[in-house]
Amino acid sequence: GQQVMQIPQYQHVQEGEDFTTYCNSSTTLSNIQWYKQRPGGHPVFLIQLVKSGEVKKQKRLTFQFGEAKKNSSLHITATQTTDVGTYFCAGRGNDYKLSFGAGTTVTVRA
Amino acid sequence: EAGVTQFPSHSVIEKGQTVTLRCDPISGHDNLYWYRRVMGKEIKFLLHFVKESKQDESGMPNNRFLAERTGGTYSTLKVQPAELEDSGVYFCASRTSGSTDTQYFGPGTRLTVL
């Protein structure tokens, strides 16, 4: 079945620095979604990418979908303490079932 | 608009006991999903309801898990008998029908089996 790998599992970032988390699927995806889970919270939808090579920005967050629609990345610039949490990518195959990555847990050093 | 709600928020039971988790989706959302996250692992799909029908239950671990959605509103997930490996956070998510893929997650139920 479809598998989604996400790296790194943990990311310790100095406040103000940039970082990127990567997501790779074993199969071509219909779309990919990104979710953020704050400590003690639940996953909250951030964005969905559908088109090959698509790039979307949300303030300091930049999301990319690969040309082959098998990989994606999330880049955060000038990390802030509010960015703390676990970021999940979730790939959708030919049905509405989402396959989640294991998440990247981000901590920020002030 | 109220979000997805789940009950209970935490449950601690002993191996062999039965636990029933409940999910109330956002009103009007026909699609309801159950997921489970074991500590440090991915959020794993369990099953998908469209209204009261099971659309996909390929993620259910075994026959100790029973999900229902009578009337197409709230859903329950029963684990009987519970085993140690069933521990984790069980999330419910709902989605409208149509072209949108956005799923709205509930706060989760943290299940601990001792």
Q: What is the pLDDT of residues B50-101, one digit of tens each?
A: 999 999 999 999 999 999 998 889 999 999 999 999 999 999 999 988 766 7
For residue A40, the model assigns a pLDDT of: 87
pLDDT at A102: 92
The tokens describing A85, both together, are: 């949490």
Decide if B85 touches A, using CB distance below 8 A: no
- Site of tokens 């709902």: B94
Q: What angle do CA A6, B37, A53 make, to 5 degrees?
A: 30
- The helix or strand, by DSSP H or E, that contains position A49, with its residue range, turns out to be strand A44-49
pLDDT at A94 over 90: no
Q: Identify the three-state secondary structure at position A78.
A: coil
Q: Are B49 and B31 in contact (CB under 8 A)?
A: yes
Q: Which neighbouring-strand residues pair with A11?
A: A106
Share of chain B above pLDDT 90, in %: 82
Cα–Cα distances (Å) from B35 to A46, A59, A62, in that order, read 18, 30, 27
For the residues A37-64, what does the mean pLDDT come to?
95
Which one of A2, A87, A98 would you mutate to disrupt binding with B, by most B Cβ within 10 Å of its Cβ? A98
Of B48, B91, B104, the CB nearest to A96: B48
Q: How confident is the model at residue B1 (pLDDT cuts 50, 70, 90)?
A: low
**Do the strands A71-76 and A19-25 form a parallel or antiparallel pair, or are they unpaired?**
antiparallel
The whole-chain average pLDDT of chain B stands at 93
Whole-angstrom Cα distance, residue B109 to residue B101?
23
Closest CA–CA distance from residue A70 to any residue of chain B (Å): 18
pLDDT digits (tens, 9 = 90+) for A5-27: 999 999 999 999 999 999 999 99
Phi, psi of A107 (to 5 degrees): -120, 150
A98 confidence band (pLDDT: 50, 70, 90): confident
Distance CA A48, CA B100 (A): 10
With cut-offs at 50, 70 and 90, classify the pLDDT of residue A85.
Answer: very high
> CB B42 to CB A42 under 8 A?
no
Q: What is the token pair recorded at A35?
A: 């979710």
- B39 close to A (CB below 8 A): no
Rg (C-alpha) for chain A, rounded Å, is: 13
What is the side-by-side strand order in the sheet with A55-58? A4-7, A19-25, A71-76, A61-65, A55-58
Amino acid code (one letter) for B104: Y
